[in-house]
Structure 1
Amino acid sequence: MSTGLRYKSKLATPEDKQDVDKQYVGFATLPNQVHRKSVKKGFDFTLMVAGESGLGKSTLVHSLFLTDLYKERKLLSAEERISQTVEILKHTVDIEEKGVKLKLTIVDTPGFGDAVNNSECWKPITDYVDQQFEQYFRDESGLNRKNIQDNRVHCCLYFISPFGHGLRPVDVGFMKALHEKVNIVPLIAKADCLVPGEIRKLKERIREEIDKFGIHVYQFPECDSDEDEDFKQQDRELKESAPFAVIGSNTVVEAKGQRVRGRLYPWGIVEVENQAHCDFVKLRNMLIRTHMHDLKDVTCDVHYENYRAHCIQQMTSKLTQDSRMESPIPILPLPTPDAETEKLIRMKDEEVGGEWGAGPGWVGGVGRSQAGLGGGRPRPPLTHTAPCRSCPAPS
């Protein structure tokens, strides 16, 4: 073995050895280090679902993550739904897949859009989003910043009813109230109620109304030029499919000799994971496999930074206002007069001196204005009835 090594070393020249050393340094393993650290730490993601009752929000969440978050859920009667107000319910579950841990938090909004008068029904939801921003801002500004829990809402799936002709006023109000705080992904719920032609028309109508009312929904990032063609094609399909027409199901049915997740109807079977039937697979790929990290980055770099800048601006303006209240009249340095101003002041002094007179017009070296004397005539000389030190002796 040693002979072989000597033989190889004789064949290798110093130039070849230098080339090998220059080709590989070792920082190419940095992604592996980041991967190991991230997997060990785990990931967290907060998803909000909003929309009126009966649109299949819970069923879609079950289908997306293959988990049951509503085991202890109680179905409300019709009377209870009438008197129900908008609530905020959090469900947290730890999911592990191939050694990767995900802490998933689902924020549900039961009671939204169910009342007769739905004006300002999104106020509890906006308050909740602001509270999470405020809590994160306080933790980030505190002394101990090692274990900060990120409860900020990273994405909001908003369910649009398929039975209307586009967006309703409550839909427009909700999205305009939250589009600067959360990444909104609009969905057409229960897409199996519509035929493909109706779905296309409804998507076009929703896109036009979103542009008309100036609503900012989540925008997919542009692909880099060095990406492969498959990824670019997938990105184009995602942009063309928005808003996603989705179907959810918790039951497994048999179709063409295979067991699939779907819904069984008298006229056929609707498969949830069949891209010819709905956009469920595209939504799942976007939300979990391709754009989850981008959703978190946009939340942190855009929405949270806007909130943070607004808070700092308010704090700065308040401090400035308090300092002004303590000293209402600011002490400013007096301006230094220039040569022309000094000349005008000297001319004015000469005019005043000539008007008052030089000798008797001045009393004890003090001008009339300073001595409190009036009139423009010179004062007569002073006389004393008894001699004093200041008067000469009589001759």
Structure 2
Amino acid sequence: MASAPATQHQEYVGYDTITQQMERKFLKRGFNFNVILVGESGMGKTTLVNSIFASHLVNSQGRRTAQEPIRKTTEITPVTQQIDENGVKCRLTIIDTPGFGDQCNNDGCWVPVIKYIKDQHAAYLERELKPQRERIINDSRVHAALYFLNPGFPGLRPLDIEVLKRLTEVTNVIPVIAKSDSLTTEEREHYKKKIKEEMGFHRIQLYPYPSDEDDEDDRALNLGIKELLPFAVIGSEDIFVENGRSVRGRRHVWGIIDVMNENHCDFIHLRNFILRTHLSDLIEVTSQRHYEAFRTQQLRQIKELRAAQAAQAQAAQSSVAGGNPQAIQK
């Protein structure tokens, strides 16, 4: 029996509305975005984050006076706030690490930071493996780490190298030059070049990572980001009026530095990178790269532990049977 000829007009089905369905569900549910700040006190971590999100989200946890004692250990202090912009709900968690790198001997100061990140992976895995797990698992995994480089040093310190190597294994690391207005334009470019060379020498792999799924536009965008790393940033919550317009910046004796001016610093590039071009990718890479590596390692260890326990039980049973002739006859 011959098949009927195809009609010239195809009836509209409507499966292309799936993007609208996904958008409605996404807007209703919202999403989590978690950022950890790693750097010593006085690097302007809190100010930068408040500047990025244009809101007073985090209070300073650093020392306010020289007389205040230095923290002996790194204290992890997460702060979560709900942000709503044009109907999109974001549960933003900022994790500060006051006390990091503030000691004369900073050996092991990174341990609480790495432990916190791995603990969030472990908590997510535990909820995921429950027999009756939640339909939507609360995501407390760290999606990005802003690592603050001290412009007062000529390059990467041994502490920076050690911490960056460990951090890049568990999360997406974005290096920033803190308070870059303390450097001249020439000093800033020289500092960036030196940092890139040292990171390449020590094989420190930073986000964004190359992917086979990237198209030509993605590769061009990521290449531009790589050229800017590390971001030379200036944060400020102060607003000044300059020539009749409001300027967010820092006042010096010679004038005002405009935080939003890309000729003054890389702040606008950093904010666009984190929020406008790579926010979704940061969350996805955390899940598919860092969490998946942690999950695979944990499940392998569980499998090996169970195999070892089974082997021990079998050996014990054989030992009991070997010492009992009646057990052998049975």
Q: TM-score if structure 1 supplies the norm length?
A: 0.74
Match of 1:239 among 226, 232, 237: 226
Q: Which of 217, 234, 246 is matched with 2:206 structurally?
A: 217
Q: Determine if contact 1:220/1:239 at 8 Å carries over to the other structure.
A: no
Of 48, 62, 68, which residue of structure 1 is paired with 2:50?
62
Where 1:299 maps in the other structure, the secondary structure is: helix
Q: Tell me the CA shift for residue 150 of structure 1.
A: 0.6
Q: Which segments of 5 or more consecutive residues in structure 1 lack a partner in the other structure?
A: 1-14, 332-395
1:294 match: secondary structure: helix
Aligned pair partner of 1:174 in 163, 166, 176? 163
| Cα-to-partner distance string for 1:318-340 (whole Å, 9 max, x where unaligned) | 11111221223999xxxxxxxxx
- Provide Cα deviations, 1:210-253, integer angstroms capped at 9, x if missing partner: 1111212112556514x4xxx77654432211111000000011
Quote the Cα distance in structure 1 between the aligned partners of 2:59 and 2:208. 34
The Cα offsets for residues 256-290 of structure 1, whole Å up to 9 and x where unpaired, read as 32111011111121100001111111110110011
* Partner of residue 147, structure 2: 158
Relative distance call for 1:198 and 1:244 in structure 2 (3 A) is same
Where structure 2 has 5 or more consecutive residues not aligned to the other structure, the ranges are 319-330
Selected match of 1:48 from 31, 36, 41: 36
Query: Matches of 1:192 and 1:84 in 2, distance apart?
Result: 30
Q: In structure 2, what is the Cα distance between the partners aligned to 1:239 and 1:117?
A: 32
Q: Equivalent residues in 2 for 1:3-152 (5 A)? A: 18-21=7-10, 24-71=12-59, 75-142=63-130, 143-152=132-141
Taking the aligned partners of 2:219 and 2:262, their CA distance within structure 1 comes to 18
- In the alignment, is the contact (CA less than 8 A) between 1:272 and 1:280 conserved in 2? yes
Q: Distance in 2 between matches of 1:19 and 1:196?
A: 64
Aligned residues of 1:81 and 1:111 also touching (Cα < 8 A): no
Letter of the 2:147 counterpart? Y
Q: Does 1:264 align with 2:264?
A: no
User: What amino acid maps onto 1:155 in structure 2?
Assistant: A
185 and 83 in structure 1: CA distance in 2 versus 1, 3 angstrom threshold: closer
Structure-2 change in CA distance of 1:141 and 1:195 (3 Å): same
Asked if the contact 2:46/2:60 (under 8 Å) is kept, the reply is no
Partner of 2:184: 195
Deviations 1:145-164 (A, max 9, x none): 21411100000000001111
Q: Distance between the aligned counterparts of 1:158 and 1:97, measured in 2?
A: 27
Which residue pairs with 1:208 in the alignment? 197
Instruction: Give the ranges of 4+ consecutive aligned residues of structure 1 lying more than 6 Å apart after TM superposition.
Output: none
Give the AA of the match of 2:66: A
Task: Give the structure 2 partner of residue 10 of structure 1.
Answer: none
Tell me the SS of whatever aligns to 2:8. helix
Which residue identity is paired with 1:84? K
Cα distance per residue 1:30-79 (max 9 Å; x no partner): 11111111111111100011101111100001100012123586855435
RMSD, aligned α-carbons: 2.2
**CA distance in 1: counterparts of 2:88 and 2:210, whole angstroms:** 25
Q: Which moved more, 1:280-289 or 1:173-182?
A: 173-182
Report if the CA contact (8 A) 2:62-2:98 is conserved. no
Q: Distance in 2 between matches of 1:277 and 1:164?
A: 21
Q: Distance in 2 between matches of 1:188 and 1:74?
A: 18
Whether the 8 Å CA contact 2:46–2:59 is kept in 1: the answer is no
The 1:199–1:91 alpha-carbon spacing in structure 2 relative to 1, beyond 3 Å, is same
**Count of aligned pairs:** 311
Distance 1:74 1:52 in 2: 9
| Residues 304/311 of structure 1: CA separation in 2 closer, same or farther (3 Å cut) | same
Identical aligned residues as a percent: 40
When Rg is computed on C-alpha atoms for both structures, the one with the higher figure is 1
Quote the Cα distance in structure 1 between the aligned partners of 2:18 and 2:229: 36
Superposed displacement of residue 80, structure 1: 3.8
